[in-house]
Structure 1
Amino acid sequence: MRRLLLAAALPLALMACDGGGDPVAQATQEIAANNHARTVKDGTVSGAEVDHAAMGHDTHGSDGPTEADKLYAEGEAEMHRLMAAASGNTPDEAYINKMIAHHQGAVAMARTALANAKDPQVRQWAQGVIDAQEREIAEMRAWKPAQ
């Protein structure tokens, strides 16, 4: 879900790049960029903090990530590492390779949720993410560029 929120904010952030864009989009871009940079750099900002900050919500204050956030930190860091390393000879290939890494991160997060979540609805959503993302990973791996 948080990845969807960040993905939804991306077009707004890109519109703000022209210098005269929407001030809300510009603020969202700045917050997301700062938090993402901190996440990638040292793993101290959780995905939940990025989402809450991008929406203008306070997170944990000065206490840092919660124990629950820490459960996901390793998978998030690995996803960011894999996405940054993924590339391709064309924009299409780069997109597919980066999305495979992104989906692998979603699967890892969902597996963490299955191992730790207590709410049946959260567990059901997590299983649904695993099923859908693994199917999409297989589809993307089987993709061949159009000639």
Structure 2
Amino acid sequence: MRLALALAALTLLSACEGGGDPVESALRDTAAANHSAVTRETASAEPSHGTGHTAVSAGDQAFKASEAAMHERMMAASGGTIDEAYIAKMVEHHRGAVAMADVALAQSRDPEIRRMAQTVKDAQTREIAEMQAWRPTGQ
């Protein structure tokens, strides 16, 4: 960010000396510098076995199974009405959040992350019980 600002300031000063619209010139040069930086970052991303995809980080890998299970269970959850379908899908969504919190609790050593994960686990567990206890109006 500082580099981009410095480049913009230098460009603005040089544009003033050479004529033309200095603001437009500075914007053009800053955009070019930003594009170059993004291109360099993208090019330096480590490809995974020649597939063109970036490698999966250890952090992402830790959550891969719980995310996949949550999405699969959410897709399979259903109900006869919008209300019942909502409850069924949200229960699975919350179970996924609990599973991800369990991963963080098992693997993170950061006290703040562990605190947040426990808070999520407690809240989502309570909400699962609340949703499971829900019954359609009139029953």
TM-score, length of structure 2 as denominator length: 0.61
Q: CA deviation at 1:68?
A: 1.3
Alignment of 1:52-63 (within 5 A): 62=47, 63=54
Q: CA deviation at 1:146?
A: 1.0
- Matching residue's letter, 2:69: E
**Cross-structure match for 2:103:** 112
Q: Which ranges of structure 2 fall in alignment gaps of 5 or more residues?
A: 1-41, 48-53
**Cross-structure match for 2:88:** 97
**Cross-structure match for 1:126:** 117
Distance (Å, rounded) in 2 between the aligned partners of 1:90 and 1:120: 42
The aligned length equals 89
Q: CA deviation at 1:143?
A: 0.3
Distance (Å, rounded) in 2 between the aligned partners of 1:83 and 1:132: 19
Structure of higher CA gyration radius: 2
**Cross-structure match for 2:136:** 145
Distance (Å, rounded) in 2 between the aligned partners of 1:145 and 1:80: 25
Say whether residues 1:70 and 2:61 are aligned partners: yes
Q: Which ranges of structure 1 fall in alignment gaps of 5 or more residues?
A: 1-57
Q: CA deviation at 1:61?
A: 5.9
Q: CA RMSD in A?
A: 1.3
Instruction: Give the direction of change, closer, same or farther, for the CA distance of 1:143–1:119 in structure 2 (3 Å limit).
Output: same
Could you give the per-residue CA deviations for residues 51-84 of structure 1, whole angstroms, max 9, x where no partner exists?
xxxxxxx7x6633210111010000000000000
Could you give the per-residue CA deviations for residues 8-28 of structure 1, whole angstroms, max 9, x where no partner exists?
xxxxxxxxxxxxxxxxxxxxx
